Structure 1
Amino acid sequence: MPRYFFDITSEHTVRDEDGETLPDSETARDAAIRIASEVLPVHSRQLVQTGRVAVTVRDERGAVVHEVECRLTSRSGRAGAG
């Protein structure tokens, strides 16, 4: 089975040096979504500061195969104002 690595980027990037053996790329993508949902509350302050928290999935060769990105955007104005 292939090994996938999950790097977390908020203010800085934390590289996954151990990785996880998974059956395929789709399973790695699902794992990245799960990881993002778990780290987002921990990195919420960085999300406000940088506007972005991401989990990047690399394969054994180091190629990026997926990226799960959470962005914070702001909009001015009030909905329904007329």
Structure 2
Amino acid sequence: MPRYHFDLVDSRTVADQGGRVLADDIMASEVADRLAEELRSVRPELRGKGYAILVTNDEGEEVHRAQLDKLRIVLNGKAHG
């Protein structure tokens, strides 16, 4: 199974040194989305600053990017997302 790295990035990178072995890119993307959601809750000071969780594989290729700042879509006065 492949190893994925989950780095916290904005204009700089806080690198994930060990990474995680996961089944595939889809699972890695889901883990990153959950991590971004958790960081939104436990580290509110990171909101609104352009942070994201960058997922790369062992070759350094970007697999997914989970933004900490969720986009909100407003339709007919109701927020979605």
Q: Partners of 1:66 and 1:72 in 2: how far apart?
A: 15
More strand by percentage: 2
Q: Structure 1: how far apart are the matches of 2:43 and 2:9?
A: 9
Counterpart-to-counterpart distance in 2, 1:42 and 1:11 = 21
Q: Which residues of structure 1 form unaligned runs of 5+?
A: 74-78
User: What's the TM-score, normalizing by structure 2?
Assistant: 0.74
Runs of 4+ in structure 1 off by over 3 angstroms are: none
Count the aligned residue pairs.
72
Q: Counterpart of 1:68?
A: 66
In our comparison, the structure showing a higher alpha carbon Rg is 1
Structure 2 residue runs of 5 or longer lacking an equivalent are 72-76
TM-score, with structure 1 as normaliser: 0.73
